[in-house]
A and B are shown apart, each in its own frame.
Chain A
Amino acid sequence: DTAVSQTPKYLVTQMGNDKSIKCEQNLGHDTMYWYKQDSKKFLKIMFSYNNKELIINETVPNRFSPKSPDKAHLNLHINSLELGDSAVYFCASESQGVGTEAFFGQGTRLTVV
């Protein structure tokens, strides 16, 4: 029973397209995150949400729009994809965002061609 699940696992698309990544957690957590991992394996926070409300937007271009319909879901929509958006995107959840274990999904490898 997967705790944090992301779909799709792989996404290959052309420049200029719009795509979405979905994330769901069944842990009952209040806080959810999106992290980006680049080709050098650097993990950088993009967004954090608590109870459907945006808490942190870490200077991410507004082509990226997260949406949290309820506290168990945090989806990421990306408009006008660019080559530099190619990366692995990880969703994660945490009980309350106050410094406890974060549970990560398996990642979505996005390749923009």
Chain B
Amino acid sequence: GENVEQHPSTLSVQEGDSAVIKCTYSDSASNYFPWYKQELGKGPQLIIDIRSNVGEKKDQRIAVTLNKTAKHFSLHITETQPEDSAVYFCAASRGTYKYIFGTGTRLKVLA
């Protein structure tokens, strides 16, 4: 069935260092890959997304890369700040009214 694996489940980095979260999806028809950030007591919020016809996308300190052949995509956060601490979810969609979410990564940025 459709599945998205996400690693690591927890990640601690020093402030200013980079953080990388990786996801692998199973449905080769997936064509949209968003990343969501969930802060404590709030709903997930989109931080960046990528479509299957693009290999990389960057928005300030955040970047996402996609390898369609390997069915991998990754989130890269550079120059991490304490406010980056949250749970991050990757997701995959084939555009049929359904997102399959990864299992989440709890990121802690240590000051």
Docked pose: A108 CA to B20 CA in angstroms: 30
- The answer to whether residues A31 and B97 also contact, given A42-B104, A100-B32 and a CB cut-off of 8 A, is yes
A residues less than 8 Å from B98 (CB atoms): 45, 48, 56, 58
Interface of A is mostly: strand
Q: Identify which of A42, A44, A99, A107 gathers the most chain B CB atoms within 10 Å of its CB.
A: A99
Return A52 CB to nearest CB of chain B, in Å.
13
Is B103's CB within 8 Å of the partner chain A? Answer: yes
Q: How would residues 18 to 62 of chain B score, 1 for a CB under 8 Å from any chain A CB and 0 otherwise?
A: 000000000000011010101001111110010100000000000
A102 touches B46 (CB 8 A): yes
- Which of B43, B87, B97 is in CB contact (< 8 Å) with A41? B87
Q: Enumerate 10 A-B pairs (CB-CB under 8 Å) in ascending A order.
A: A40-B103, A43-B44, A48-B97, A99-B51, A101-B34, A102-B99, A103-B46, A105-B43, A106-B41, A106-B42
- Which of B34, B49, B95, B103 is in CB contact (< 8 Å) with A98? B95
Return A72 CB to nearest CB of chain B, in Å.
17
15 further contact pairs, Cβ within 8 A, besides A103-B46, A104-B43: A41-B103, A42-B103, A43-B89, A43-B101, A44-B101, A45-B98, A48-B98, A97-B95, A98-B96, A99-B32, A99-B94, A100-B32, A101-B49, A104-B45, A106-B43
